[in-house]
Structure formats: C-alpha cells, structure tokens
C-alpha cells in the first residue's frame, strides 16, 4: 500500500507493490488479487463461529481475498471448528493469537498475517449481512475515506420476547464515545492497511474494551476522516440475560476509563465518575419499574462500576502492541 503524494492524511489511496515514480499514482492491476482481508478475532466462540464463517464465505469472492481467524487462546474447540470450516474455503486461514489475552491483540495479529490492502474487522459471535465486505470497500473507494464504520442490526438475531425487555438501540445513530466523538465499533469496521499501520493498530493495553474507541481517536487525530456506511450491516448478537448484559457493560466501563486515563482530556476520569453517580442514584426508582427499565439501570450501574475499577488498573495505559512480521500459522 502506498500513499498518494507526501501527505499520509490525504484521502486518495491505492494498492501498489513497488514505489511509484515521483508525482505518479499507481493503480492496482486489473488481474490483481481481491483487496479485502477480513479479520475475525475469536475466543471460545465454537458455538457461533460456524454461522459467522458461513456468512463470510458467501461474501463476494471478487472483493474478499482472505478470512483470517485469529484464535486468542481459546480453551474450547474454536480452533478445531475454524480449521474444519477452512477445508471448505481456501480463503480461510487460522492464526495463533494466544500471546496475549484480548481482542485487540488478536486483531493485531490477524492484521499482521493478512495480505490485503484493506482490512474489514468483524467478531466471531455476530453474523455479517450479504454484501457487507463489498459495501465497506465500495464506500472507501467512493468517498476516498480510509476509515469506515458500518451499522449494526440489533434485532435480527433475537426473538420478540427478548426485544421487549432489552433497552432500545437505534442502529441509525452513529456510535459516540463519552465526549460525543464518533467512532467505529470493531465488530463492523473497515480501514486501509496504510492507515491502520500508521497508528500501530489497536492498543493492546485495552484488554477489556474501548480499543475501537482508542483506534478511532488515533486515526482521526492523525487526519483520517471517519465515513459511515449504512450498507455495511452486521447482525449483532446482544446479550440475552440481564446478568450477561451487566457483565458486558462492566467491561465497557472499565476499558473506557483505562482509555480516558491515557487520553489528554480536560475532564479527569475521577470527576466523570463522580458526576455520573448522582444521576445514576436519581434513577434508582427504575428498579421498581418495567423489566426494560430495570435492565437499563443495571447496565448503566455496571458501566459506572467498571469505570471505578478501571481507575485502579495498574498496567500503564496506551502501550502500543509492537506486532511485527507474520503471525504463526496453525
């Protein structure tokens, strides 16, 4: 991948195998391999991975070069399942990403092993919609952006009884961090190899959550525009019990605080949590309301508790991953 001209933040980009002459742009040859490498981090995902891989295998072969499953040290049969499905499609590769726990590490290892000019990230427990990868890449080509966020469908994978009590989610609204800045969720994210490499990928110190928020912040700070693609849809698998939803919110809150500790913000994480506690306490009567109201309050409280826990994480935040070379294949 080469940058057009000397400015790495301009929006035109193209694949290349050798440096173009000064002032010239090199387009990918017509018979080149497909441009997109799909990267799927996986940890103990044996129950869901086959459905996701089936959806990925149905993606446009003219767009998807490879599907890299990065096994983050699973203790179930995730690796065996991935290898078995790989026998049906030569594009599937399984790489060992067990060196460090966390989806950020698995994604980085997958990216290091990938050979495409454009990365499309998704998760092992979701299901990509038909045309997902092509939509991400087409949006990048059409707009000139190197950083693309898709949209998540939170309803398709769940029956009506679950949707009745689950807090309302609006997929048409962009995802924003706690400061209102847009970010691309790692379960539905497209980025050029050059842009990804320019910020050293995901921050692996964010082992619990918020690694996608941090990556989005780094890319936008470096001058890469975030473009939203409503045609790139992922069927998102939400947590179906209140306890599982609270556990997820706790991890999100913890990761968010660790991220904020590393980020130069005007408001300290301590003060954010203090000010968030008062309205949370004021909403305590929701515990006596509908099931949806109770679950909503529980998730908010778990996010706050995770944030408090993140204040005491001892690992220095914002330690970049330093992955280099090819990941070991299994």
pLDDT tens-place string over residues 77-119: 999 999 999 999 999 999 999 999 999 999 999 999 999 999 9
Q: In which region does residue 244 sit, left (phi positive, over 0), alpha (psi from -120 to 50) or beta (all else)?
A: alpha
User: Is residue 295 pLDDT above 60, yes or no?
Assistant: yes
**Within the chain, what is the greatest distance between any pair of CA atoms?**
69
CA distances from 200 to 72, 128, 164 (A): 19, 26, 41
How many residues would you count in the chain?
Answer: 330
| pLDDT (0 to 100) of residue 167 | 54
pLDDT one-digit tens code per residue, 298-321: 878 877 787 778 778 765 444 444
The pLDDT-based confidence of 15 (bands split at 50, 70, 90) is very low
Number of helices followed by number of strands (H, E) in the chain: 10, 10
pLDDT over 90 at 197, yes or no: yes
Mean pLDDT of the chain: 78
Write out the H or E segment, with its range, that includes residue 286: none
Q: What is the pLDDT of residue 267?
A: 60
Would you state the pLDDT for residue 175? 54
Higher pLDDT, 231 or 312: 231
pLDDT bracket for residue 213 (50, 70, 90): confident
Residues 42, 34: Cα–Cα separation, whole Å: 24
> Partners of 120 in the beta sheet?
38, 190
CA proximity to 37, closest of 102, 100, 122, 105: 122
**Which residue in 330, 319, 250 sits closest to 108, CA to CA?**
319
Q: What is the CA radius of gyration of the chain?
A: 20
Q: What is the mean pLDDT of residues 260-269?
A: 66
For residues 192-212, average pLDDT:
89
């Amino acid at each position: 991948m080469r940058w057009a001209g000397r400015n790495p933040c301009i929006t035109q980009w193209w694949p290349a195998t050798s440096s173009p002459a000064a002032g010239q742009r090199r387009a990918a040859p017509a018979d080149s391999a497909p441009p997109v490498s799909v990267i799927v981090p996986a940890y103990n995902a044996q129950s869901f991975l086959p459905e996701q891989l089936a959806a990925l295998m149905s993606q446009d072969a003219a767009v998807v070069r490879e599907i890299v499953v990065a096994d983050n040290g699973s203790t179930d049969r995730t690796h065996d399942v991935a290898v078995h499905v790989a026998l049906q499609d030569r594009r599937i590769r399984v790489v060992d990403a067990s060196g460090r726990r966390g989806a950020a590490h698995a994604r980085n290892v997958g990216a290091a092993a990938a050979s495409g000019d454009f990365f499309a990230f998704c998760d092992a427990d979701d299901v990509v919609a038909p045309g997902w990868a092509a939509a991400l890449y087409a949006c990048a080509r059409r707009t000139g952006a190197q950083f693309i966020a898709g949209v998540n469908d939170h309803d398709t994978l769940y029956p009506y009884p679950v949707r009745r009590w689950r807090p309302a989610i609006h997929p048409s609204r962009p995802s924003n961090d706690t400061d209102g800045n847009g970010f691309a969720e790692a379960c539905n994210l497209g980025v050029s190899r050059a842009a990804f490499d320019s910020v050293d990928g995901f921050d692996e110190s964010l082992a619990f959550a918020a690694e996608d928020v941090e990556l989005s912040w780094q890319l936008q700070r470096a001058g890469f525009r975030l473009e939203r693609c409503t045609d790139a849809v992922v069927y998102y698998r939400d947590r179906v019990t209140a306890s599982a939803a609270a556990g997820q919110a706790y991890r999100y809150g913890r990761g968010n605080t660790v991220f904020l500790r590393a980020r130069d913000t005007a408001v300290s994480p301590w003060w954010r949590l203090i000010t968030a506690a008062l309205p949370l306490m004021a909403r305590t009567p929701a515990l006596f309301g509908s099931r949806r109201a109770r679950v909503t309050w529980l998730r908010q409280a778990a996010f706050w508790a995770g944030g408090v826990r993140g204040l005491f994480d001892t690992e220095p935040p914002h330690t970049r991953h330093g992955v280099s070379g090819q990941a070991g294949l299994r």
